[in-house]
Amino acid sequence: MYGVKVMLIGAAIMSHGNPVLKPEDEETRKLAEALKEIGREFSKAEAYVIISPHNVRMSEAIGVIMVENLISWLGFDGVHLPGEYKTEKELAKEIYQRAKVKGLPVVDINFASLGGEYSRFPLTWGELIPLHFLEKRPIVLLTPARKVSRDTLVKFGEVIGEVLEEYDKKVTFVASADHAHAHGNGPYGHAPEAKEYDELIMRIIKENRLEKLLEISDELINKALPDSYWQLLVLYGVLKRAPMKLKLSAYVCPTYFGMGAALFVRK
């Protein structure tokens, strides 16, 4: 199953905020166009690996979803997207086993049945909105953990990168991520650190210097209230094993949270 071919063909950061579905301003339209461009680039892939902060929430363990069928279940703010996806189970199993061997805190998650029609698990807006911009493919769904160390998340990304480089199908990696949630006019209030965090993250992305993520203070993260930081650490680990160049990036903040996109392709 595994050989010497390089099969990780791209990586991306994709927003999961509702505004990209029906953009109401020019900057959000540009973000939606960037997501569509990612979809066009990733049409060459045979499977996607996606890490989402809005599926299983575990504080101290990284999740690898092993169910056979992933089913649309939970939208956001009244917006529901239909969809049913198959898990690329052999790839999910390889990521889990390789991470486990390296002593990383991973958990394999199934539900109801180990396989077949009753092996089913819900998808949320955190996965469905990025998937809305991608052609339908089998997926591997991963979830981050906020209380594991930064180095552990990076190492997990390195494991993913190693596995995807060796897989015998063309695969892409997606970090589902929105940025700071404290821009005001929302449930989390206003904090000036939100703007600071988003500007810093987008600068790191545009410079393709994701190692700088490790220098961001806990204080800034805690005040800005992002749900992107942990997935980006995993992405950094992936790119350590599969160096890529930045092809495009976009950012907008039409509501209380910042949204962004970035596409990385092989050098």
What's the confidence (pLDDT) of residue 177? Answer: 98
How much of the chain, in percent, has pLDDT values that exceed 70?
Answer: 98
Instruction: Locate the DSSP E strands across 95-166.
Output: 106-109, 120-124, 139-143
pLDDT at residue 242 greater than cutoff 80:
yes
Nearest to 138 by CA among 76, 198, 66, 199: 66
| Residue 142 belongs to domain with CATH number | 3.40.830.10
pLDDT at residue 256 greater than cutoff 80:
yes
Q: Classify residue 195: in a domain, yes or no.
A: no
Contact 260, 201 (CB under 8 A): yes
Q: Classify residue 90: in a domain, yes or no.
A: yes
pLDDT at residue 205 greater than cutoff 80:
yes
Q: Classify residue 206: in a domain, yes or no.
A: no
Sorting pLDDT into bands at 50, 70 and 90, what band is 2? very low
User: What is the b/e burial string over 13-44, where b = at least 16 CB atoms within 10 angstroms of the residue's CB?
Assistant: bbbbbbbbeebeeeebbebbebbebbbebbee
Q: Classify residue 193: in a domain, yes or no.
A: no
Q: Which amino acid is at 150?
A: R
Q: Classify residue 139: in a domain, yes or no.
A: yes
pLDDT at residue 3 greater than cutoff 60:
no
Average pLDDT of the segment spanning 90-100: 98
Contact 228, 17 (CB under 8 A): no
Q: Which residues pair with 233 in a beta bridge?
A: none
What's the confidence (pLDDT) of residue 6? Answer: 58
Rounded to the nearest integer, the mean pLDDT of the chain is: 96
Distance between CA atoms of 193 and 152, rounded to whole angstroms? 25
Among the residue ranges 4-13, 60-69, 70-79, 95-104, the one predicted with the least confidence is 4-13
Q: What is the pLDDT of residues 19-42, one digit of tens each?
A: 999 999 999 999 999 999 999 999
Q: What is the pLDDT of residues 166-204, one digit of tens each?
A: 999 999 999 999 999 999 999 999 999 999 999 999 999
Q: Classify residue 60: in a domain, yes or no.
A: yes
What's the confidence (pLDDT) of residue 267? Answer: 87
Contact 148, 194 (CB under 8 A): no
Q: What is the pLDDT of residues 42-74, one digit of tens each?
A: 999 999 999 999 999 999 999 999 999 999 999
pLDDT at residue 1 greater than cutoff 80:
no
Structure tokens at 181: 């949630």
pLDDT at residue 4 greater than cutoff 80:
no
Contact 104, 58 (CB under 8 A): no
Q: Classify residue 218: in a domain, yes or no.
A: no
Range of the domain at 90: 8-177+227-266
Q: What is the pLDDT of residues 110-129, one digit of tens each?
A: 999 999 999 999 999 999 99
How many domains, the chain? 1
Structure tokens at 126: 């955190």
Structure tokens at 109: 């998650």
Contact 10, 45 (CB under 8 A): yes
Q: Classify residue 208: in a domain, yes or no.
A: no
